[in-house]
Structure 1
Amino acid sequence: MMSWLWLALGAALLPFTLMQTTIPLAAWLAPLLLLRFSRTVRARWAVPALALVGALSTYASLRNGLMQTDQMHLATAAAGAVLTPIPYVIDRLLAGRLTGIARTLVFPMADTALAFVFGTGDFGTTGHVAGTQVGNLPLLQSAAVGGQWIIGLLMAWTAAVVNEVWQRRTTAGAGRTLLIFGAVLGAVLALGGARIALDPPAAPTVRITGLAPNRAASDAFASARQAPGPRSAAQRAELRERYFAPLLDDLVARTHRAAQAGARIVVWAEASAYEFVEDKEAVLERARSVARSEGIYLQIGVVWLLPRQQYPLNEIRAIMFDPSGATVWDYLKTVEVFDDGNLLGSGIVPTVDTPYGRLATVICFDASFPKLVRQAGRADVDILLVPSSDWEPVTDALNQQVVLRAVENGLNLVRTVRNGTSLAVDHQGRILGQDASWFRTDPVTTEHTLTVAVPVRGARTPYALFFGDVLGWLSIAGLLWAATVVILRRRAARTAAPARPADDEPKARTPAPAH
């Protein structure tokens, strides 16, 4: 009966470890309780129960219209049913046949390997459990060495060690395991705390202003947006006058004000301006003129609408101008989210050296792909600009991802967000500023602006320079090693067992006693 209580408690906590409404402590407790359940109930009951928990938890975490259709919502919940039991099944198959500290490493390796493989898919690492810990600055510093994978591994290892002590608390082996685990976790937290306390960012700062578009004008355009494809000259003229021009005029005026208030770098959010591709040169010239007249670095977020009815429908771009008005880069978004229909870029992160450090950019969901952002870390980038366009249910999860990318790669980072919460952090994960006004204020009168002082120097990290995602690969290799050991031990045990005569072989008879 107690096993089912652990299941119920773990199931109640699991939704708070995923996309929305995350609770840091829940992310440590949920796998601990579910692992206890898995180890104490027969597999024929444990696996379907964990699958059900996975489906319900995933379904709950994708509420409030996070998925575009009910069918996608249900399909993702079904994926949760399939994926959730996998680490627990692997633990049942392997851990009980190993000894010592190796017993406790099976579950964390399985959990990390699964997350690593899944993180190479269309959704990247969005929703990874490490995101729940971005407020724990000492622990967060470990990402500068092992990436987000080390945080997830430590959390899953905690669950396995506690269960080992719970199950074998009277044995000497359990004590040794707890000692080793405690030393590792203690060292991680102590070193992280020392980095925070003794090596804080000390570089000069630059004033950066992030501009999201006027919400009323943006919402008006979204509600009136017509089907993609060619339009008549009259239709295009109407869209320019009623929707495109108000958005662009507002952004240009606010850019001037931000520069006059002291901003040296101004960044528009992703998709701040929508324009027909035929109007490209006029829009670029206007932005170029602002950068030149104000003497600033200006990055605009624009969507060029293509005259097509099939993919690609648009180009989502971040275009940077330097104080002379020259184009520094024209970055095309690398990934597609759902059915945005955007032409995909090359996946090469652009950089430029400035008086305010080395700058780089990616766009929104690009930041959920660690391998892509690691280019900036390897290029010694100091400030990463991440213009973004969210929707309410996902904005917190995406902000968690950029904090992880900042610490992993030693980047100071500014994420300017349309339809979400803008955020700036330093290279150790401290929040420099945020603007959550999009959903909480009057859309007519509020200007969604984030202005922050950002250090002009980042930090070089072992993750960016050397290790990368090696923990993901090591977890896969570790599982293969554990499976090999278990298979060889079982074969050796069968070989050592006394041979039993086959049913069709004559059995030796005891001679009858003489009379």
Structure 2
Amino acid sequence: MKNLKFGEPRLSRSIEFCRNLSDSIIFSISVLIIGGIATVLSSAKWHMGLFAWIGPLFFLCYFRMTRIKRKTLWFFLVYLCRSIIAFKDVVPFPLPGIIVVGLIQTIQSWLIYLSDRWITRKSDRFLSTLYFPAASVSVEFIPAALGGSIWFSVANSQVAFNWITQLASITGLWGISFIIYWFGSVLVWAIQRNSEPRRAKRGIVIYSSVFLTVILFGFIRSNSNAMKSSAQVRVAGLSVPLTGFLENLYKDYCGREISIDPTWSITSSKVREIQKAELPFIETPDSAKFKYAYAAMKLANDSLFALSKKAADNGARFILWSEANALVFKNDEEQLIERGLKFSKKNKVYLVMTIAAIHPGKITATTKFLENETVFISPLGEIMNIFHKNNPVPMAEATEPGDGVIPVIITPYGRIAVSICYDADFPIQMRQLGNKKADFLFLPSGDWYSISPFHSYMAVFRGIENGTAVVRQASSGLSILSDSRGRIVKSFDYYLPGEKLWFADIQSKHENTVYSRIGDSFAWICVFIMLMGLTYRLANNSRKDES
């Protein structure tokens, strides 16, 4: 009885303190700003994965626990600013486009947090903590199910935490996102139950048990040996910078010289100025008017074969160029491919040529004047496959998309799938890797400074999901070899001085994964939980209205 009397004032003071904080505008805005800063730091530009857990936690505190006027207005201001900062130089759009994308994401997030507040306000059960992660995963998954990418998935930030990423082999990215969002939901729920410490403790124990199970599974899987094929083979990745071509193209266009910094933003005024030269070059490709550009284009293509020869001389059996590295007008493409056929036969190597084939002529806003393709050539000098990029980057690539099929080429060294860069941001489409039991994914890519190395790390998840090793050869980014457990075995930074040539010895075999078999079942469960939560809340409201 004495202990009860002693504890009651302390408990009362604790509750009163929390209520005072909830009414404080300084506390409310501080919580909101901390959430915004955390989500910026976990974004593609800074990719600090730990902050991905902190951002949703503070936003939930803001919506569930604070009581200030104009709560929605404050959220819109902070979240939109956060989106603009996070997307600048990352999303390949000018500022108005970034604002539009940021506004869309702000509205999506606002609806999630608002509906979570609506659900949890009338239900203090631990089960209500599932709504927020389920709704957040649903908002990531539904656009992907409709043909979109997963660029904005919070799970992409977690590649450094290999024990957590292994969950993708069962649930895909969606399970990783769920465990992150659930963390914030449970912790805020427990804080709100400070008057019921035993109940709050039970909720934390439930989450901790699930989290530790995920960690234990990840530890076991990431520390076990990946499947290996009987034969080890050397792969070479290479890039030839095209800055020289662009500098000479600009010189032909206006007579002025310019020196390009490869770290420039792709939406900067300098880059837009250089791009003015591309239109007349494509519409009227006069070799006399653009003599320097033609010479630079030839030099770049010659350099690709020179580096490829060096790779072959150093024992490479597979040689992979970075995305669209060989520039050629469509009329001259056959001659370039013929050169590749002769090279492969002479040097007895597999060559994956990456070609940007330009269709000259009048350009309008809807003209698709480019073919972004790979040509996979055997050591016999035969074409084994020609692949066109399935998912051109919106508003950045004037390219016709491919047919959606990811080819798998059978070689003595394994089953090799081929895709291009942004294609790997579509996990539903990339499930073909698991279904076709690909041993390797060759992924020629082209990045820019602000998204490197984040974009390369995103591709690692496709290997974990589908039991496939990934060789991503990137210009203006980080080239990587990762195994089927998502471990980065070898990497090469494009921005280091010197030749853009690296080697990796690969020995891997396809592994069956749960995700390959059940697909996005977990994501659909999240959609079901979200809909059930909304339905239950609406039904309760209707019953109260009737009574």
Structure 2 SS opposite 1:85: helix
* Alignment CA distance shift 1:115-1:458 (3 Å): same
- Partners of 2:81 and 2:418 in 1: CA distance: 37
Structure 2 SS opposite 1:490: helix
Measured after TM superposition, the shift of residue 164 of structure 1 is 1.2
- Partners of 1:334 and 1:202 in 2: CA distance: 29
- Give yes or no for contact 2:79–2:106 (8 Å, CA) kept in 1: yes
Measured after TM superposition, the shift of residue 242 of structure 1 is 1.1
Q: Which moved more, 1:109-118 or 1:156-165?
A: 109-118
Measured after TM superposition, the shift of residue 215 of structure 1 is 5.0
Measured after TM superposition, the shift of residue 223 of structure 1 is 4.5
Aligned to 1:6: 31
Aligned residues: 490
Structure 2 SS opposite 1:77: helix
Aligned to 1:56: 81
Which residue of the other structure, out of 423, 427, 439, is the alignment partner of 1:370? 427
Aligned to 1:510: none
Structure 2 SS opposite 1:301: strand
Aligned to 1:409: 466
* Alignment CA distance shift 1:236-1:323 (3 Å): farther
TM-score normalised by L of structure 2: 0.85
Q: Partner amino acid for 1:270?
A: E
- Give yes or no for contact 1:100–1:173 (8 Å, CA) kept in 2: no
- Give yes or no for contact 1:335–1:344 (8 Å, CA) kept in 2: yes
Q: Partner amino acid for 1:460?
A: N
- Partners of 2:342 and 2:449 in 1: CA distance: 34
Structure 2: which 5+ runs fail to align? 1-23, 252-276
* Alignment CA distance shift 1:122-1:244 (3 Å): farther
Which residue of the other structure, out of 354, 364, 371, is the alignment partner of 1:301? 354
- Is 1:94 the counterpart of 2:94? The answer is no
- Is 1:396 the counterpart of 2:449? The answer is no
- Write out aligned runs for 1:355-504 (5 A): 355-438=412-495, 440-441=496-497, 446-464=498-516, 466-495=517-546, 497=547
Q: Which moved more, 1:168-177 or 1:390-399?
A: 168-177
Aligned to 1:502: none
Aligned to 2:206: 180
Aligned to 1:22: 47
Measured after TM superposition, the shift of residue 146 of structure 1 is 0.5
- Write out aligned runs for 1:146-165 (5 A): 146-165=171-190
- Give yes or no for contact 1:53–1:81 (8 Å, CA) kept in 2: no
Measured after TM superposition, the shift of residue 339 of structure 1 is 3.2
Deviations 1:3-50 (CA, angstroms, capped at 9, x unpaired): 333223222212112221021111111111110111023486332222
* Alignment CA distance shift 1:121-1:69 (3 Å): farther
Deviations 1:487-508 (CA, angstroms, capped at 9, x unpaired): 223333444x4xxxxxxxxxxx
- Give yes or no for contact 2:228–2:508 (8 Å, CA) kept in 1: no
- Give yes or no for contact 1:94–1:483 (8 Å, CA) kept in 2: yes
- Give yes or no for contact 2:328–2:356 (8 Å, CA) kept in 1: yes
- Write out aligned runs for 1:31-430 (5 A): 31-42=56-67, 45-64=70-89, 66-119=91-144, 124-171=149-196, 172-203=198-229, 204-220=231-247, 223=250, 225-227=277-279, 229-231=282-284, 234-235=287-288, 238=291, 241-308=294-361, 309-310=363-364, 311-337=367-393, 338-430=395-487
- Partners of 2:341 and 2:113 in 1: CA distance: 56
Deviations 1:393-451 (CA, angstroms, capped at 9, x unpaired): 1233311210111111111001111222212211111112222133x43xxxx211231
Structure 2 SS opposite 1:24: coil
* Alignment CA distance shift 1:168-1:320 (3 Å): same
TM-score normalised by L of structure 1: 0.90
- Give yes or no for contact 2:349–2:379 (8 Å, CA) kept in 1: yes
Q: Partner amino acid for 2:373?
A: R
- Partners of 2:128 and 2:326 in 1: CA distance: 55
- Partners of 1:141 and 1:103 in 2: CA distance: 27
Structure 1: which 5+ runs fail to align? 498-515
* Alignment CA distance shift 1:109-1:65 (3 Å): closer
- Partners of 1:335 and 1:162 in 2: CA distance: 39
- Give yes or no for contact 2:285–2:360 (8 Å, CA) kept in 1: no
Deviations 1:354-390 (CA, angstroms, capped at 9, x unpaired): 1111001111111111112111121100100111111
- Give yes or no for contact 1:214–1:447 (8 Å, CA) kept in 2: no
